[in-house]
Amino acid sequence: MYDKNNVFSKMIRGEIPTNKVYENEFAMSFYDINPMFDTHVLVIPKGPYKNILDFSKNASLDEVAGFWDCFNKTADKLGVECEFNCVANAGANAPFIKQSVFHFHLHLVAGNRKPAFHEQLKAEFK
Ligand code: AMP
């Protein structure tokens, strides 16, 4: 079930500040508050989808198109070209990095790793 009190839902409603990169009717992107790479941006749909599967199964075609338009424009604005990683964590017990905010988001990361990346890996695999 989707919890509308999650932090990204509050950002969509404008209840907390957001350092936006790009926004359209169906999606928005913004800088991660705890960047693990030189460039670390999150791309989210505005609709209430808890993870990537919820979005891919239940979003309308307009929402899907809007999401990828936002992704493309964000990558263009950041100038990452073909040199980036794109990650979606799903579930509190995901095998690699766990999902902590239960509103679907893609991490778009580029450049060098920051110390926070190594700290998170250590914490996840201790
Ligand atoms: P995940 O572990 O995949 O759920 O990632 C959630 C991400 O959301 C983390 O990288 C957090 O640093 C980021 N995050 C949490 N709160 C905020 C916020 N207020 N603004 C921007 N990013 C946030």
pLDDT digits (tens, 9 = 90+) for 11-33: 999 999 999 999 999 999 999 99
Q: Is 107 an active-site residue?
A: no
Query: In this model, does residue 105 exceed pLDDT 90?
Result: yes
CATH of the domain at 17: 3.30.428.10
The pLDDT tens digits of the residues spanning 40-97 come to 999 999 999 999 999 999 999 999 999 999 999 999 999 998 999 999 999 999 988 9
Please give the model's pTM, rounded to 2 decimal places: 0.97
Atom of ligand 1 nearest to the CA of 100: 4
Q: How many structural domains are present in the chain?
A: 1
Cβ contact 43:105 at 8 Å: yes
The domain in which residue 57 lies consists of: 7-124
How far the first Cα of the chain sits from its last, in Å, is 30
Tell me the CA–centroid distance for residue 101 and ligand 1, in Å: 6
Query: What is the spatial order of strands in the sheet that 27-31 belongs to?
Result: 20-23, 27-31, 37-45, 106-113, 85-87
The closest alpha carbon to 84, from 113, 114, 109, belongs to: 109
* Structural domain includes residue 2: no
Residue 120: what pLDDT? 87
Atom of ligand 1 nearest to the CA of 16: 19
Q: What are phi and psi of 124, to 5 degrees?
A: -70, -30
List, chain by chain if needed, residues with CB within 6 Å of any ligand 1 atom.
7, 30, 32-34, 42, 89, 97, 99-101
